[in-house]
């Protein structure tokens, strides 16, 4: 539990069982429901993955078609939610908007029985891109967008809402793959937060709200935005090495590198790097990609640290023209599929998650009445 006498964040602790995902332990690679991430990212689309995570099996063509139609029919924003999104400041952190949007939806369409859990999971999958794009376009462009759309895929739908035009096929597929890669990752911090909330038999919205708040931090989902901020600091490749050496000497964390579970590489990273490269080539300006490559090289030379999924997701989103503050909310739009699958799995075989702690505080002592307390005790 501890490393050098310090809390190690439950590293290598098995905190439960799951049939949803493996993350490379005991000789396995990254798999969702038994399928390798390479096969899924190469051959499937995000809606198939969401279905697989929630229902346990890949959909047939008919099932996928029906699922697409269902998700498309659930994209409409309730008027009360629109009103809240309009009232939130345009300067708010978009992750706070997602967290609030999820919570407000729970007030408007509450989960009254667990029989509603699949429908609510699908509603969130369908609606989260609408929430993000509606708030963003209202405050940036001063318009109320129509969130109904003919776009069948979540990726095409989101990009279309964001720009107001049909996205290029290459961008749509790049985002689609990114959503697949972000969909699920076993007992990561946000999923674990969702499962802790689920273990109290709380409602789906509360579980997902807890997960969004947990994903927000730069050690977790927020790393993709922090990675882009780092990449953007450099004008040329020559600037990278000295700046990183200085940062590492100061013991700064370089976001988008390292992983709690993986030791030598993150299997998702080469896949998203390939997409970053393709988009860079397509754009005719590969400077951001080349700077990213140089950061990767220096991090390996200096610290033997490898890029995780968040690092090349940053340049991939950059080449699609997605604003940086929306990077982590896009992660939410995808990971909600994994969170929902875990919430359902937790509910199906539940025990309250309530660990214990080693006590390191003062020894037991007598209560001090007010008149006998001296300022010195309390600084
Ligand atoms: N940059 C610089 N040093 C790093 C690092 C990074 N990204 N990741 C790990 N290290 C170093 C630590 O400073 C520490 O060095 P030390 O032993 O000299 O103190 C050592 O590697 C172990 O790191 P630690 O943070 O204790 O390991 P962890 O298992 O708790 O860390 C992460 C996992 C993901 C939290 C960590 O790698 C990190 O903070 N990465 C950056 C954030 C990020 O990309 N998050 C997304 C994860 S998918």
Supply the residue whose CA is at minimum distance from atom 19 of ligand 1: 251
**Model pTM score:** 0.96
pLDDT for the residue numbered 60: 98
Query: What is the DSSP track for 208-250?
Result: HHHHHHHHTSTTTTTHHHHHHHHHHT-SSGGGHHHHHHHHHHT
52 token code pair: 């697989």
83 token code pair: 């009103």
Q: Is the CB of 174 under 6 A from ligand 1?
A: no
Q: Is the CB of 299 under 6 A from ligand 1?
A: no
Q: Name residue 45's beta-bridge partners.
A: none
Return the exposure string of 328-345: e unless at least 16 CB atoms fall within 10 Å of the residue's CB, then b. bbbbbbbbbbbbbbbbbb
pLDDT for the residue numbered 5: 72
Q: What three-state secondary structure class fits 32?
A: strand
Share of the chain above pLDDT 90, in %: 93
C-alpha 102/C-alpha 104 separation (Å) is 6
Cβ atoms 197, 210 nearer than 8 A: yes
- Going from the C-alpha of 228 to that of each of 215, 238, 250, 304, 327, the distances in angstroms are 17, 18, 20, 21, 9
Residues 6+ apart with CB under 8 A from 48: 58, 59, 64
What is the mean pLDDT of the segment spanning 274-281? Answer: 98
Q: Is the CB of 257 under 6 A from ligand 1?
A: yes
Q: Which residues are catalytic?
A: 220, 259, 310
Kindly report, residue by residue over 172-198, the tens digit of the pLDDT. Answer: 999 999 999 999 999 999 999 999 999
What is the mean pLDDT of the segment spanning 130-148? Answer: 97
- More confident of the two residues 93 and 375: 93
Cα(260) to centroid(ligand 1), Å: 8
The Cβ of residue 233 has, within 10 Å, a number of other Cβ atoms equal to 11
What atom in ligand 1 is closest to the CA of residue 252? Answer: 2
Q: Is the pLDDT of residue 378 over 60?
A: no
Q: Exposed, middle or buried by CB within 10 Å (0-12, 13-18, 19+), for 91?
A: exposed
pLDDT for the residue numbered 49: 98
Cβ atoms 89, 136 nearer than 8 A: no
What atom in ligand 1 is closest to the CA of residue 11? Answer: 29
Supply the residue whose CA is at minimum distance from atom 16 of ligand 1: 251
Q: Exposed, middle or buried by CB within 10 Å (0-12, 13-18, 19+), for 278?
A: middle
pLDDT for the residue numbered 7: 87
pLDDT for the residue numbered 2: 64
Q: Is the CB of 228 under 6 A from ligand 1?
A: no
C-alpha 244/C-alpha 213 separation (Å) is 29
Q: Is the CB of 219 under 6 A from ligand 1?
A: yes
pLDDT band at 117 (very low <50, low <70, confident <90, very high): very high
What is the mean pLDDT of the segment spanning 154-178? Answer: 98
Cα(268) to centroid(ligand 1), Å: 18
C-alpha 98/C-alpha 213 separation (Å) is 9
Token look-up 């937060």 returns: 193
Q: Is the CB of 256 under 6 A from ligand 1?
A: yes
What atom in ligand 1 is closest to the CA of residue 309? Answer: 48
Q: Is the CB of 173 under 6 A from ligand 1?
A: no
Which of 258, 260, 298 most suits a substitution to test ligand 1, by most atoms within 8 Å of the C-beta? 258
Cα(291) to centroid(ligand 1), Å: 21
Supply the residue whose CA is at minimum distance from atom 4 of ligand 1: 253
Q: For residue 344, give the nearest of 221, 195, 136 by alpha carbon.
A: 195
Kindly report, residue by residue over 306-355, the tens digit of the pLDDT. Answer: 999 999 999 999 999 999 999 999 999 999 999 999 999 999 999 999 99
Q: Is the pLDDT of residue 27 over 70?
A: no
Q: Is the CB of 305 under 6 A from ligand 1?
A: yes
* Count of alpha carbons within 13 angstroms of residue 206, beta-carbon side: 11
The Cα diameter of the chain in Å comes to: 76
Mean per-residue pLDDT of the chain: 96
């Amino acid at each position: 539990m501890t490393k050098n006498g310090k809390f190690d964040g439950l590293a290598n602790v098995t905190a439960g069982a799951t049939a949803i995902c493996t993350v490379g332990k005991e000789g396995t690679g990254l798999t969702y429901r038994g399928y390798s991430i390479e096969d899924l990212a190469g051959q499937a689309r995000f809606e198939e993955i969401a279905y697989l995570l929630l229902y346990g099996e890949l959909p047939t063509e008919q099932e996928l078609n029906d699922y697409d139609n269902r998700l498309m029919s659930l994209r409409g924003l309730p008027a009360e939610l629109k009103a809240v999104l309009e009232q939130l400041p345009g300067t708010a952190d978009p992750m706070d908007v997602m967290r609030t949007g999820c919570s407000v939806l729970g007030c408007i369409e509450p989960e009254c029985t667990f029989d509603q859990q699949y429908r609510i999971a699908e509603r969130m999958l369908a609606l989260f891109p609408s929430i993000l794009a509606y708030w963003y376009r209202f405050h940036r462009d001063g318009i109320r967008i129509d969130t109904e759309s003919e776009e069948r895929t979540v990726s095409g739908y989101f990009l279309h809402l964001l720009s107001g035009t049909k996205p290029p096929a290459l961008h749509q597929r790049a985002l689609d793959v990114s959503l697949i890669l972000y969909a699920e990752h076993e007992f990561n911090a946000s999923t674990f937060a969702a499962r802790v909330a689920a273990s109290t038999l709380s409602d789906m919205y509360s579980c997902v709200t807890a997960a969004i708040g947990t994903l927000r931090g730069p050690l977790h989902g927020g790393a993709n935005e922090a990675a882009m901020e780092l990449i953007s600091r450099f004008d040329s490749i020559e600037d990278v090495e000295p700046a990183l050496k200085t940062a590492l000497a100061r013991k700064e964390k370089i976001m988008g590198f390292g992983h709690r579970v993986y030791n030598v590489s993150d299997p998702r990273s080469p896949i998203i790097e390939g997409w970053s490269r393709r988009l860079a080539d397509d754009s005719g300006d590969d400077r951001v990609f080349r700077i990213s490559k140089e950061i990767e090289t220096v991090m390996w030379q200096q610290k033997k640290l490898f890029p995780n999924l968040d690092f090349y997701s940053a340049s991939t989103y950059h080449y699609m023209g997605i604003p940086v503050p929306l990077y982590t909310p896009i992660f939410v739009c995808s990971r909600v599929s994994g969170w929902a699958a875990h919430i359902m799995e937790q509910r199906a075989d539940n025990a309250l998650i309530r660990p214990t702690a080693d006590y390191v505080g003062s020894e037991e002592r007598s209560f001090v009445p007010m008149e006998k307390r001296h300022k010195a005790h309390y600084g």
